[in-house]
Amino acid sequence: MSALQNILAVIVVLGVLITIHEFGHFWVARRCGVKVLRFSVGFGKPLWSRTDRHGTEFVVAAIPLGGYVKMLDEREGNVPEAELHRAFNRKSVYQRIAIVAAGPVANFLLAIIAYWALFIYGTSVVAPVVGAVAPGSPAELGGLRGGEEIVRVEGSPTPSWQEVSLKLIGEIGRDGSLVIDTADGAEHRLPVQAYMVRQDPPRPLETLGITPWQPPIEARLGQVLADGPAAQAGLESGDRVLAVDGEPIEDWNVLVERVRASSGQTLSLEVESQAGVQRSIELTPQPRELDGGETIGYIGAAAVPPEWPAEYLREIRYSPFAALPQAVGKTWEMTWLTVDSIRKMVVGLISPSNLSGPVTIARVAGDSARSGLETFVGFLAYLSISLGVLNLLPIPVLDGGHLLYFIIEAVRGRPVSERVQLAGLKVGVVLIGTLMVMALYFDLLRL
């Protein structure tokens, strides 16, 4: 069922993003007087098609991993004399630039609209209050203490832990110090050296030695995976773990520590059901290897989410007018973070194993859909930005490659030769193919 939800979620996400992207090309092409022959969402065998009065065939195809807008073009076939003025290649270089750029621009506009709706709807976030600081860590050396609320990282406001993490990820590779401001007006300079370089995955808070504050979590099981060791041992949702091997369990974190340290070892648990019935259970955590090579115990169970005190929650909501600049700013921030991450991956500061392909996108899409509309819309906005940035990369085959040729044409006064374009096309196909294979490979490793 979870896999089916993931598949449905990714089809919806990709369907929306591809449709919006191709509609950008389509809409501007029509405004520039170009005849559009086909507007296809997906590749392969058409599942549905319809032709409008302008002669454009609209298609939904079987493979939802892309789309295209096919325009009248002399380079792709004979064009009747009467329709030459409607051919893409006959338009001015600036019109062609506008048509090609319209797809990525449409993705950025979709992200702005999505963030605008979220800012109007409002959201409740957990304040970034420090729970504990590791001895000898950059956080301790910078004077950060438990109980302080982080309000800015490098001058940028951070109303939530998500914002703190995003700002810290943007500082990958930094040498010197990270400036963190807290609610009491203090400025902390945390010493860092090659901050998070090639970490997989990046661990911004852990690297600085910061543990977020959270309310005590009772050692009561919330979700229990059907095929996990916990379920096989007879544990059920709602059970509370009282003791492990005769030692009382105070909270969930203590239980997690015992489980992680007991890979392959049989534990004796004293458990109390929701009805108050106590029983003994033998449980053997399965070994699970982390990315760094460490092996921990795993039982396939999660805690009941804690109730957060009101003073640790922050409400983020704006009026429709105030939400617009916030949405534009958020889109720009995420766009720059994406571009900067690509740059850092190219120069070796970020490991290429952080690339994500269709499997990871499907899993995250499914998780966000199950988490609620707010999370799903936020993921849709971020993925739309990623698609816009990816398509603007100056690689032949992508929109950015075509834009590069047209810009060169505008500067030189004549188009790039077909020989150069063909060579660039071959290089682009190899680059994109290599990236797709790498992304799928790392997807499978994550499974």
Residue 366 has pLDDT above 80, yes or no: no
Max mean pLDDT among 71-85, 94-108, 185-199 falls in 94-108
Distance from the Cα of residue 139 to its chain's centroid: 27
Check residue 58 and give its pLDDT.
95
What is the tens place of the pLDDT at every residue in 396-443? 889 999 999 999 999 998 988 888 888 888 888 898 888 888 877 877
What is the tens place of the pLDDT at every residue in 124-133? 889 999 999 9
Strands 221-224 and 150-153: unpaired
Domain ranges of the chain: 123-215+307-316, 221-304
Check residue 392 and give its pLDDT.
95
Closest C-alpha to 110, from 367, 395, 334, 438? 334
- Residue 250's pLDDT band, with cuts at 50, 70 and 90, is confident
Max mean pLDDT among 110-119, 166-175, 273-282, 297-306 falls in 110-119
CA dihedral 195, 199, 204, 205 (to 10 degrees): -110
Residue 1 has pLDDT above 60, yes or no: no
- Pick the catalytic residue from 22, 148, 163, 270: 22
Segment 18-28 shows an average pLDDT of: 95
Check residue 44 and give its pLDDT.
86
What is the tens place of the pLDDT at every residue in 324-342? 999 999 999 999 999 999 9
- In CATH, the number for domain 123-215+307-316 is 2.30.42.10
- Residue 201's pLDDT band, with cuts at 50, 70 and 90, is confident
Check residue 373 and give its pLDDT.
79
More confident residue, 77 or 27: 27
Q: Which residues have C-beta within 8 Å of that of residue 178, sequence separation ≥ 6?
A: 138, 142, 153, 154, 168, 171, 189, 190, 192, 195, 208
CATH of 221-304, one of 3.40.50.2000, 3.40.190.10, 2.30.42.10, 1.10.3720.10: 2.30.42.10
Residue 293 has pLDDT above 70, yes or no: no
Check residue 372 and give its pLDDT.
77
123-215+307-316 and 221-304, same CATH topology? yes
Is 22 one of the annotated active-site residues of the chain? yes
Q: Out of 35-44, 85-94, 361-370, pick the least confident.
A: 361-370
Check residue 223 and give its pLDDT.
86
Q: Is the pTM of this model over 0.85?
A: no
Residue 361 has pLDDT above 80, yes or no: no
Check residue 117 and give its pLDDT.
95
- Residue 2's pLDDT band, with cuts at 50, 70 and 90, is low
Rounded Cα–Cα distance for residues 344 and 317 (Å): 33
Q: Which helix (H) or strand (E) holds 19?
A: helix 2-31
Rounded Cα–Cα distance for residues 316 and 124 (Å): 6
